[in-house]
Structure 1
């Protein structure tokens, strides 16, 4: 396997590599996003007193993530970026979802998800005229902030995951190290599919090593049924302005993240900037997927940054690969036992892979920022936006003077602050005068040299 040459189709957006290559690469994507996708409904259901509904909500999250992924890779009209984008339930909505769920129940939460998704889809149609406000310095800062904001999450996984009784234990650190070392060795010294599937193989090795370490509980697999279909509109839909307005703000945030993720995929996988059609289609599909997903009892969906990291790491741009992953996700929702088997994976296994994936996202942000000359103006924008964005996103309580609703939007990852500051500075700081000054200095220097 390690000596076989990988077909060129895996690097082509429209390429269709043979199934023996495409399937493991697709499962690599699924394993990378699975824990994050199912963790959101688990957290929200437990926080709003609906713990008994967790298994059903996980099933819904898997189905909608699969369908949303397919919507992204199959461009239908203006919907879909037609890029290897993997969708899943968004962590960014967790605090607000808990607040809405406690106030209005699951029906109010899903109703706000529906309206917010429609709003984001509408917003997607205006990406092209707004594109001039998103030069590489702005989108690069967003992507860099996304990567940096995910690093603590990756280390949390490495240490055993939130709530682990032995958080930070040597068993978790050892398991994450096994996964990371496996990935590095395969990426550097293997060839063909072994190199391309380094993350998948690393996760599988970690899973197997965890079994004799008694770090996997298979009781959930035994209890899960073999077949089941998520009932649409099980909780109904109700609409409350307070809930809807809060969701709309967060959908603006997730649109910004999606722009950053799409830019990361094209820069990292194809070494080019994203087109207007790709950005617009991606944001529209994000909104439509979330709106339709609410009908199937799923919380807001968005592009998953860890899968952007995989594309950047492997350079696999084939949408055919991600299509298979989307189909697998949707089908696994119909076989709860399969989902339970993947869900049993220790967080530290995913953590070992997350170090590579999340770090790759930050590096792609740096690459995008440096794709154009960095003058004094660009350095100033980068310095202020990165410091305020990442700083406020990582220091708890730094925005405590503001209402909780403001903290939920601007705190957390800090992506919104970084984006707003970068966009504002890029719009108001003079650029033409600086360029002329540099041109004059260059001309004088050239004349002097001559």
Structure 2
């Protein structure tokens, strides 16, 4: 009788850290940490609006409770998600600061007080529905957000938020006092404690460094008489927000248009926050993810108008907390959303959180916001700054963003409709980066499949490539491989090329179809990783461009020696240099680790591995040539190519 063979047990697919459901205790602690870091930013918009349009203290308390309650719902929608709503990343939702000035203008134009408030809510509801409906179309614009744009936007977000942290550090907007030594001590002490915990501890303790800093800082301030909780006794135990508490919404065409403009600007900021968070948690995002995030923004904004709150967006403040703690689970944000709902229903609990002194909060915020800027710098490290166009895009965007951040009153020099843009460094810098990227990389090129750009000779069209002589072909594409040109010559023999993909494939076929002797000779022409010859340009422009992607042309003496020892040992064993496509790795340590691992391989395996790495390098160099001719096909947008189909 034949023996039955049991089917192999299928292996479970490992969950991404973003989708990991942590134990209840950790969820609670991490969630509270997010709420404490978020609280001051969450309530500042209602406070500013209430003061500007003449609401009473009682009405302000209701606005704050409604804001927290809706923040909680919005955060759960964004992080947990349902249907096609919610990006399912650890993104907290909060009221956008971009809407403050337009809402004040709408409220005052309608007569102020609750009369102005219901007109604001009418505009908020319509703008939320508009955002929900246009979300999928906005998501298709993702190809206009390559690393040069997203890195710039993320950096601007971090830098533009630092003055907010600095204002808290000196006492907050209501009573700033930069000369107060105690304020400085609380801020720097909180920051120092967070850094110390990060340095000394590992694991769980390190992930709650911000929470510990806030709690310890508040307790010290309370012991010294600088933290007050009198509002706790004066607050009610329960406060439920009801729909249309201030009256039925009223609709004004001008107000609606103004709020739609706000939501379009906010969509740009949300896109930047989604990319920043995806970069932190190492998860790929596409046009569908952007559409889901914007649908959540739109739905939350519509709910905000119904539940007496305001327009919502992903809160950049908490992006920094995700990076600082390295806790990637989106359910932590969902837990924070649940706590905010509770705070919105329990004014006394909210009053306790509100008792955190501004300087303590400012010290923690300095650490969180700066880490957002660092994420932006990491993204910009992937950008080719040999291309002067990218320098102009980043430099101009940063410059304008800092101009508005450093001189916020500059917005008063333009008409009210333009103040929406000039009123925020994040908004102005983001829009500038997007528009300049379009101008420099997508506009003004002649039509047709340009496949290569040669300095001083303009673009080369595919039809011209097919008509080239062998010498011209080698001159145009010879730099794709290091040293000998036989691979390029063999690719030439495969003409005519139907498209750029066929041209790329011809180079690959030429490389892998060569004799082992030719392949080995080609390998010997690649320079050592981190060598001085590359740093000084002696190995050619392409090699310098390859290796500077992760800073191998700027190594410190100690790092240079480490690379020299590894590459020497490798070449001594295998007879050719250690070849790694450094543009595909994250950092220098990964290169060193890969090289040490490959030292244990057989010569045959390393011959094959080196060929594969050469093919990857050639692919990037081919993309560079294409970028010089037609940036729409540049390697910087390759990660989004599947989104454009």
TM over 0.5: yes
Q: Which residue of structure 2 aligns with residue 347 of structure 1?
A: 358
Q: Separation in 2 of the partners of 1:61 and 1:366?
A: 33
Q: Which residue of 1 aligns with 2:228?
A: 217
Question: Residue 383 of structure 2 contacts residue 390 of structure 2 at CA under 8 Å; is this kept in 1?
Answer: no
1:91 positional shift = 1.8
Structure 1 residue 68 corresponds to structure 2 residue 74: yes
Question: Residues 44-443 of structure 1 correspond to what in structure 2 (within 5 A)?
Answer: 44-52=49-57, 53-104=59-110, 105-164=116-175, 166-235=177-246, 236-270=248-282, 272-374=283-385, 375-407=387-419, 409-430=420-441, 436-437=453-454, 442=479
Shift of 1:425: 2.3
Greater shift after overlay, 386-395 or 70-79?
Answer: 386-395
Contact 2:80 2:331 in 1 (8 A): no
Query: Does the 8 Å CA contact 2:34/2:321 hold for their aligned counterparts?
Result: yes
1:148-178 C-alpha deviation (Å, 9 max, x unpaired): 1111111001111012164541111111112
Aligned length: 440
SS of the residue 2:227 aligns to = coil
What CA distance in whole angstroms lies between the structure 2 residues aligned with 1:424 and 1:165? 37
Moved over 3 A (4+): 165-168, 396-401, 430-450
Moved more, 36-45 or 120-129: 120-129
Q: Deviations over 1:238-292 (max 9, x none)?
A: 011121111111111111111111111111222x542222211111101110111
* Distance verdict in 2 for CA 1:172–1:393, change over 3 Å: closer
Q: Which residue of 1 aligns with 2:43?
A: 38
Using the TM superposition, give the Cα deviation of residue 435 of structure 1 relative to its aligned residue in structure 2, in angstroms: 6.7
Question: Distance between the aligned counterparts of 1:167 and 1:10, measured in 2?
Answer: 48
Residue number among 11, 15, 19 corresponding to 2:24 in the alignment: 19
Structure 1 vs Structure 2 CA RMSD: 2.3
Checking the alignment, whether the CA contact within 8 Å between 1:48 and 1:98 is kept in structure 2 is: yes
How far apart are residue 97 of structure 1 and its match? 1.4
Rounded Cα–Cα distance in structure 1 between residues aligned with 2:339 and 2:408: 38
Q: CA offset at residue 22 of structure 1?
A: 1.6
Q: Is the 8 A contact 1:62 1:329 kept in 2?
A: yes
1:369 positional shift: 2.0
Would the aligned equivalents of 1:161 and 1:347 in 2 still touch at CA under 8 Å?
yes
Give the Cα–Cα distance (whole angstroms) in 2 for the partners of residues 310 and 194 of structure 1: 14
Q: Which runs of 5+ in 2 are unaligned?
A: 1-13, 111-115, 456-475, 486-523, 526-645
What is the alpha-carbon distance in structure 1 between the residues aligned to residue 406 and residue 484 of structure 2?
50
Q: Distance in 2 between matches of 1:351 and 1:360?
A: 14
Task: Name the TM-score, length of structure 1 as normaliser.
Answer: 0.92
In structure 1, the gaps of 5 or more residues are 1-8
Distance in 1 (alpha carbons) for counterparts of 2:178 and 2:441: 49
Further displaced range: 74-83 or 434-443? 434-443
Query: Deviation at 1:311?
Result: 0.9
Distance 1:38 1:417, change over 3 A: closer
Deviation at 1:373, TM superposition (A): 2.8
Larger Rg over CA atoms: 2
| Cα distance in structure 2, aligned partners of 1:54 and 1:14 | 37
* Other structure's SS at 1:302 match: strand
What whole-Å deviation, never above 9, does each CA across 1:292-337 have from its counterpart, x for those lacking one? 1111100112111110001111221111111111111101111110
Query: C-alpha distance in 2, partners of 1:102/1:442?
Result: 64
Contact 1:119 1:248 (C-alpha < 8 Å) held by counterparts: yes
Partner SS, residue 47 of structure 2: helix
Match of 2:33 in 1: 28
Aligned residues of 2:167 and 2:176 also touching (Cα < 8 A)? no
Deviations 1:82-112 (A, max 9, x none): 1111111222211111111122211001111
